[in-house]
A and B are shown apart, each in its own frame.
Chain A
Amino acid sequence: MKKSTDQVVFLAISYIVTSLIAIFTLFPFVVLIVNSFASEHSIIFYGYSLFPKEFSVDAYDLIFRSPDTILRSYGVTMLITTLGTATSLFFSSMAAYVMYRKDLKYRNGLAFFIYFTTLFNGGLASYYITLSSTYHLKNTLWVLLFVPMFSAMNILILRNFIRGSIPDSLCESAKIDGAGDFSIFIRIIIPLSKPALASIGLFTALGYWNDWWTPMMFVERQRLFPLQYVLYTIISSVNVSSSVVQNASSVTMPQESLKLAMTVVSTGPILLAYPFVQKYFVKGITLGSVKG
């Protein structure tokens, strides 16, 4: 098919702008990877550079000094990320579907019930006490699973996506055909909301993946540490040994390159998984296919 002028113009602009932004976002990451292999001395002396003046794997050495711990923590992170994301997506979309149903009188009340929690909270102390003393969730996998589980924002966004992409008539006709509320959700809503589920699922998974706060507050047992928290402890111990501690060995710790290497180590796996999610962002896979 021949492209018309407006298409050509638009595509040209799109390619240029997208490329520029992509370069702008990629460049620091390249610098980051390169300098995670630079020696501490060269970073302190010359700053970051495009080509490392002195090559060194000290930072990675330090991170993988106890490979068992790192591998184990990868395992913990993967487990809570997959389990948590699946659970969260299922119940979030179910709640979103309930709030989407126009025939539900209190749907806005429910939305407010959820949204209100983003406005007010009882503060850190109360949250900590409730979870650790009342629910006894300290030092359990549950706490890692529950704390990042639902986000009011995600649920409300899901509700709007469903609202925007699935016409009421579809539900109504399904109801007339004798489908129950739950089976409408399973058979119609879920298949038709794949792009939305993919993006919200991605956000939820990232939330689990990057969560170091929950383990910091609630987990003291090393075997339950997720990856981000293990990295966090490594970097915080190095930072401090070079500022407080008075022994000789700490002076040469790769403090600066460690920050960078840490980002590489924690980002790698999730970047590999990203293309699998991306396929859901392709234009027009939803309604057309159902209506045939």
Chain B
Amino acid sequence: MKSLKKPGFFHELAKNKVLYLMFLPVAVYYILFAYVPMLGIVVAFKDFNYRDGILFSPWNGVDNFRYFFVSGKALQVTTNTIMYNVVFLAIYTIFSIMVAIMISELASKIFKKVSQSFMFLPYFISWVVVSAFMYNFFNYDYGLVNNFLRALGNEPINIYSEPSYWYILLPVLYLWKWVGFGSVLYLSAISGIDQECYEAATIDGANMFQKIFKITLPLLKPTVVILLLLGVGRILRGEFDMFYNLIGNNGLLIDNTDIIDTLVFRSLLGTQDFGMASAAGFYQSVLCFLIIMIVNTIVRKVDSESALF
């Protein structure tokens, strides 16, 4: 181990032994429940069988990766995944902050609490139920929306055969589901802001909007940055449940809405091959790893306190 050779290592441990001890429980948890199972990552390069188990099955090079790349869809689904995630992350962050600031400024305590509770409700509605809702609202034959359009004398719309609707619908639904959840973090960050800052600003004659842009937003910056970084670190992992339940296997939409996770799920349903499943996961991991390493390094250069690590 490299760091053992460094003279400062034991000294550092001894100096801060209480702190390191305080970290120990979490460290042990991660070793047992994350790093030990992580060894199984080798299965992505193996021809797995039960007799030999994960560690001793024969290696098969990159065979497990082939199905994903020969499908001819690898590039498309990777782009889709990234594009959707970028859009989701952007609107999620903007709206969460906006909502949090607004709620925190509201005067009526009851209104504050009630509206915030309402925004949290969608979190509990699973995507399965959301898809049932969508089907009931937008169904061509008897959906509420189409009945309404017909009543107005308009042509009904068929969202299940036209991808362009989903470019709007998916982000809106994502926002609808997560904005209440996201605003909680920013709300608690805002409640951590020292009131004296605002009082001082008021004395200096700053108006509401100046206070928001000059005090609240800059003070929220570290929270925004960390949440964005965490989001970027998941940029190749899609919201599987959402895409799977809303789009399913609809062949008319799939080119525009297929993400890595849904493609892999559909392809491997019949075989349940651990090696192939791990291979796709490994591909996502490596890309995420590279992206987050680059982004984190940039952030660190600009402001070392905001970086993830």
Contact = CB atoms under 8 A, between A and B. Distances in A.
In the complex, A touching B (Cβ < 8 A) = yes
Contacts of A103: 16
A155 to B, nearest CB: 7
B194 A288 contact: yes
Contacts of B139: 47
Given A4-B207, A199-B184, A275-B117, 9 more contacts: A7-B207, A104-B16, A105-B12, A105-B16, A122-B37, A146-B33, A161-B192, A282-B191, A287-B192
A79 B119 CA distance: 27
Contacts of A180: 18
In this complex, the interface size class of chain B, counting residues with CB under 8 Å from chain A, is 35 or more
A123 interface: yes
A117 B38 contact: yes
A282 B106 CA distance: 11
Contacts of A64: none
B191 A285 contact: yes
A176 interface: no
A152 B26 CA distance: 10
Contacts of A7: 207-208
Contacts of A109: 309
A125 B207 CA distance: 58
Contact of B99 (A21, A29, A129): A21
Interface string A89-100: 001101101110
Given A18-B103, A25-B118, A284-B194, A117 B226 contact: no
A143 to B, nearest CB: 10
Interface string B180-216: 1100110111111111100000000001110000000
Interface string B70-113: 00000000000000000000000000001100111111000101
Given A156-B226, A199-B187, A275-B113, A123 B122 contact: no
The 5 closest A-B pairs by CB, nearest first: A126-B40, A122-B40, A165-B192, A195-B188, A117-B34
Contacts of A193: 192
B222 A22 contact: no
12 contacts: A14-B105, A17-B99, A21-B119, A28-B121, A99-B23, A111-B308, A195-B189, A196-B189, A203-B184, A263-B126, A287-B194, A288-B195
A123 B281 contact: yes
A169 interface: no
